[in-house]
Chains A and B, each alone.
Chain A
Amino acid sequence: MRRLAHLLETRQISSTEVVEHYLAEISKQEPVLNAFITVDAEGALAQAKASDRRRREGQALSPWDGIPIAVKDNISTKGLKTTCASRFLANYVPLFDAEVVSRLKDVGLSIIGKTNLDEFAMGSSTEYSAYGVTCNPHDHERVSGGSSGGSAAAVAAGEVPWSLGTDTGGSIRQPASFCGVVGLKPTYGWVSRYGVVALAPSLDHVGPLARTVEDAALLFSLIAGPDPKDATSSDAREFSIPDWDESFVKGLKIGVPEEFFGEGISPEVEGAVRDCLNALEGWGAELVPISLATNEYAIDTYLTLVTAEASSSLARYDGVRYGVRIPAEDSNTMFARSRSAGFGAEVKRRIMLGTYVLSARQYGAYYEQAQKVRTLIRQDVLEAFKQVDVIITPTTPSTAFRIGAKQSPLEMYLSDLFTAMANLCGIPALNVPCGRDSRGLPLGMQIMGGHFQEELLFRVARLVENHVGVEGEVFSDKL
């Protein structure tokens, strides 16, 4: 992105040309890929023209002024449809921008469109979108992952230079891994969720997806920071891009948890991660075998909490203030009919489960129990960070699966096996590509750190990126 910014600054390229390039890619690829729910060509071009004018007048808002970005369709954009991939919000146009979107606009980025997701971010493949599945750019018969599948696929396919996603149990990292891009789930509270449609507020995060580690770090620096409109961001601070000095790796303690390797993991995934670990060791890092035994409970804990919180978060969709309304004689019937018509099967399933675990008779056995197990998981992880600086695991047990391959909901939920832990603990976790498997599908490595240790994660990821290389430079003819 620095190079693109340089081209814009020296006027070797205009923002209009940049946006036109990406719009052309979108027109070419969307018929197959389906990464976008809404493309705002007119709006993006208008923003690009305004940016070009600012540059001509020496009034650029930032070095990034005029660069386009895609935003997941559960993040509110003023005047631009925000559907959450749900029929319920098919025609919903927000009256305000999410805080992260305001921040992007403040530095001159233009919103080129809204990307596909599983309905209300509930899923791991975008197959639960009301607007069809997003294909994996590396193999169109496979999923892009989810729920931020559209955001990951759009970046991987070169339809957009970078994007925003959300991550409640792995929804940035798993699609980033499947599509071969960098994706960060930040520390809980470092990025405002104001205007981001809630799935499970104690687990929801917003974060960047980009082709390179530096671009992801840069995008993170643009969205991170405190926001009085999000009470959970009160301890957040600003973030600056690291200097990429590599000497930190000498003596860096890398935790390698045995539970994330071996049985049930594709040998190619494990091989690629181990290869990167060996490279890091070669540069002076110390590999420390550790145990995160509580990960055994992470998925069930996560599912209990996410369904409980979702059933409460989605109570607002009642057909009164916005969205679908199916008329009825009395209010309760109107609520029920509107909700039943507007929600897809997975959303209803999670609302049902969540209602059950929160119901008076079951509350102690399920919800309260899960909150306590969450404490044990958190203690386990924070204890590990007393011994090590970062923890490295595969992001997913296998590469992108075939569309339609996961038939049962439980099978789908297991996609989050390695990623949900970071959400339960609020720690930052990042996916960095670490090669391809024999089919040419991207492999991903997860780096986790202690709270507010994003800088360290980016530094380690950058070393891995140097080791495996980056593909697909855009505008290379101009560089």
Chain B
Amino acid sequence: MLIDRQEVMRMARLARLELSDREIDQYQKDLTSFLSSGQKLQQVDVSAVEGTSHAVAMTHELRKDAVGESLPQAEILSAAPEAMDGFFKVPRIVEEQE
């Protein structure tokens, strides 16, 4: 295997995914087969070129930094699983001082 279980678990942690043992085995296999099929990309000589991040050549224009319309806060919060006092509510991140 090109990738070991530890590496798969590290990726899952980085991607914020909680995987079962079965899933870890599966993705270890899938990553390995994907990377071996992708080996031929490594052989391509790319020394003469820069990477492409946009397929169509375009120049980004700066727009005016103007205040536009936006949705009301209450509407946006209505879609949230939990909200409180005009905020999205999440589990505690910062511990209270003793």
Q: Report A's interface with B, CB cutoff 8 A.
A: 92-93, 95-96, 187-189, 202-203, 228, 231-232, 234-235, 296-297, 300-301, 303-304, 311, 315, 318-325, 327-337, 339-340, 343, 345, 348-349, 351-353, 355-356, 359, 365-366, 368-376, 378-379, 408-410, 423-427, 451
The answer to whether B42 and A335 have CB atoms under 8 Å apart is: no
Q: A320-B88, A409-B30 are in contact. Are A375 and B56 (CB under 8 A)?
A: no
The A interface is mostly helix, strand or loop, or mixed, namely helix
Please name all residues of chain B whose beta carbon is closer than 8 Å to the beta carbon of A300 when the two chains form the complex. 37-38, 40-41
Please name all residues of chain B whose beta carbon is closer than 8 Å to the beta carbon of A320 when the two chains form the complex. 80-81, 88, 90
Please name all residues of chain A whose beta carbon is closer than 8 Å to the beta carbon of B11 when the two chains form the complex. 352, 355-356, 359
Within 8 A of A (CB), among B1-44: 3, 7-8, 11-12, 14-19, 23, 26-27, 30-31, 33-35, 37-38, 40-42, 44
The answer to whether A329 and B50 have CB atoms under 8 Å apart is: no
| Alpha-carbon gap, A61 to B15, bound state (A) | 47
The answer to whether B41 and A369 have CB atoms under 8 Å apart is: yes
Nearest B residue (CB) for A343: B17
- Size range of the chain B interface in the assembly: 35 or more
The answer to whether A332 and B16 have CB atoms under 8 Å apart is: yes
Please name all residues of chain A whose beta carbon is closer than 8 Å to the beta carbon of B49 when the two chains form the complex. 372, 375-376, 379
| Alpha-carbon gap, A359 to B11, bound state (A) | 8
Q: A300-B38, A337-B18 are in contact. Are A352 and B31 (CB under 8 A)?
A: yes
The B interface is mostly helix, strand or loop, or mixed, namely loop
| Alpha-carbon gap, A330 to B33, bound state (A) | 35
The answer to whether A351 and B17 have CB atoms under 8 Å apart is: yes
Please name all residues of chain A whose beta carbon is closer than 8 Å to the beta carbon of B30 when the two chains form the complex. 349, 352-353, 409
Q: A375 contacts which of B40, B50, B75, B88 (Cβ < 8 Å)?
A: B50
Q: A348-B27, A373-B41 are in contact. Are A353 and B34 (CB under 8 A)?
A: yes
3 closest pairs, A vs B, by CB? A426-B55, A371-B51, A372-B46
The answer to whether B58 and A325 have CB atoms under 8 Å apart is: no
The answer to whether A365 and B42 have CB atoms under 8 Å apart is: yes
Please name all residues of chain A whose beta carbon is closer than 8 Å to the beta carbon of B82 when the two chains form the complex. 325
The answer to whether B8 and A303 have CB atoms under 8 Å apart is: no
Q: How far is the CB of A372 from chain B (nearest CB, A)?
A: 4
